[in-house]
Amino acid sequence: MPTVTMIGGGQLARMTHQAAIALGQRLRVLAEKPDDPAAQVSPEVVLGSHTDLGALRKAAVGSHALTFDHEHVPTEHLEALVAEGVNVQPPPQALVYAQDKLAMRVKLSELGLPVPAFTPVGSVDDAVRFGDEHGWRIVLKAVRGGYDGRGVWMPESAEEAAAIATDQLAYGVQLLAETKVELKRELSAMVARSPFGQAATWPVVETVQRKGQCAVVIAPAPGLPEDTAAAAETMALNLARELGVVGVMAVELFETVEGELLVNELAMRPHNSGHWGMDGARTGQFEQHLRAVLDYPLGDTAPLAPVTVMANILGAPQAPEMSMDERLHHLFARMPEAKVHLYGKGERQDRKIGHVNILGDDVAEVREKAERAAHWMSHAIWTDGWDPHE
């Protein structure tokens, strides 16, 4: 049975490992530290950095496919591995569109896909000019390396933009500017594609961000017109084919107040917007990713309930006194239907330390439950004042 190597030892690798166990595979991880979420559970851990070609080579030896928990591996290292015969999936020439937001914006425009107006920013003047042109409804972004809203700024004046651009350019951070979209909400269209060319989508979901990072996912996106949903899924399928993606890909979308869709960014790995499918779909993203990178036929993605809501457990400003273990006891006592996934991470403010999935019929009810459960897990406070002893 195959061994798959995953670069990065975060929660995505940890959950991929769960799927690998069921399929009789081994997931080897390249982790920075022995207590990284996946390093705690994988039987084959290579310790090292994803920027060290030697470490990447060591992690790749004898594995059937090499894939990713994050997109930060330098392209030249991946090309070196491919040249040495490593089966890198997604291939570096596809992955670059998830690594480099400017390359992605340029490529998607060439393909005629809807994206916000954008420009590269090589100087403070570039940023100020773009801001003036767009009435200071703009977003500055690091071209590479951002995540969870780090590397995204929304300056409202020339002074603010100049300060950000001066700082970032001085650190050597490459920037782009784009228009700030008037959002109705954010969506995600997830697709998986195999080297054979088989592809499968999950229903388009709504993603709710707080402080620039994903907090809640509702599957499927409530009230999304059928033709809009179909258009988003078709876009994801076409993009996966055009770019030669192998594995799962999330297409992060903006739904504008006018009801149009624009592409925000691409992730070519399991993604927070797909966590609902671990419990809410016949085949979840982690299993599907393994099936895709190993060129197995893909699994049925049908939802198992009319609604699934995923709520991230985000670290509280101060970790509660009550232990995580005791919180879990209380949660299970109150909500036997809650499916909890914990990542083995320390509690820090706003850090993603786990998530809760709830399946059901009524969006409002299911969402309230999932958010209440997640808040309980991070804060040890029931938002409705519930007292188990009463």
Ligand X SMILES: Nc1ncnc2c1ncn2[C@@H]1O[C@H](COP(=O)(O)OP(=O)(O)OP(=O)(O)O)[C@@H](O)[C@H]1O
- Measured CA distances, 268 to 99, 121, 167, 357, 374 (Å): 9, 25, 29, 23, 26
Q: Which of residues 235-254 bind Mg ion (CB under 5 A)?
A: 252
For residue 326, the minimal CB distance to ligand X (Å) is 31
Contact with ligand X (CB under 6 A) among 18, 49, 198, 209: 209
Query: Any contact of residue 380 with ligand X (CB under 6 A)?
Result: no
Q: Which is nearer to Mg ion, 106 or 139 (CB)?
A: 139
CA–CA separation, 376 vs 372, rounded Å? 6
Which of ligand X, Mg ion, none interacts with 209 (beta carbon under 5 to 8 A by kind)? Answer: ligand X
Q: Which stretch binds ligand X (CB under 6 A): 40-48, 104-112, 205-213, 338-346?
A: 205-213
Give SS3 for 223: coil
Residue 341 CB-density burial (10 A; 0-12 exposed, 13-18 middle, 19+ buried): middle
Contacts of 133 (CB under 8 A, 6+ apart): none
Query: Any contact of residue 151 with ligand X (CB under 6 A)?
Result: yes
Distance of CA 195 to the CA centre of its chain: 22
Per-position x/- string for 275-314, each x denoting binding to ligand X as judged by CB under 6 A, each - no binding:
----------------------------------------
Q: Which stretch binds ligand X (CB under 6 A): 176-184, 235-243, 337-345, 382-390?
A: 176-184
| Amino acid at residue number 332 | F
For residue 153, the minimal CB distance to ligand X (Å) is 10
Contact with ligand X (CB under 6 A) among 52, 79, 265, 347: 265
CA–CA separation, 355 vs 342, rounded Å? 7
DSSP 103-142: HHHHHHHHTT-----EEEE-SHHHHHHHHHHTTT-EEEEE
Residue 17: phi and psi, rounded to 5, are: -60, -40
For residue 152, the minimal CB distance to Mg ion (Å) is 8
Query: Any contact of residue 11 with ligand X (CB under 6 A)?
Result: no
Report the sign of the C-alpha dihedral through residues 72, 76, 79, 85, in that order: negative
Size of the site for ligand X (CB under 6 A): 21
Q: Which is nearer to ligand X, 15 or 331 (CB)?
A: 15
Report the sign of the C-alpha dihedral through residues 126, 129, 133, 135, in that order: positive
Query: Any contact of residue 178 with ligand X (CB under 6 A)?
Result: yes
Contact set with ligand X (CB under 6 A): 116, 139, 141, 146-152, 178, 180-181, 183, 186, 209, 212-213, 252, 264-265
Contact set with Mg ion (CB under 5 A): 252, 265
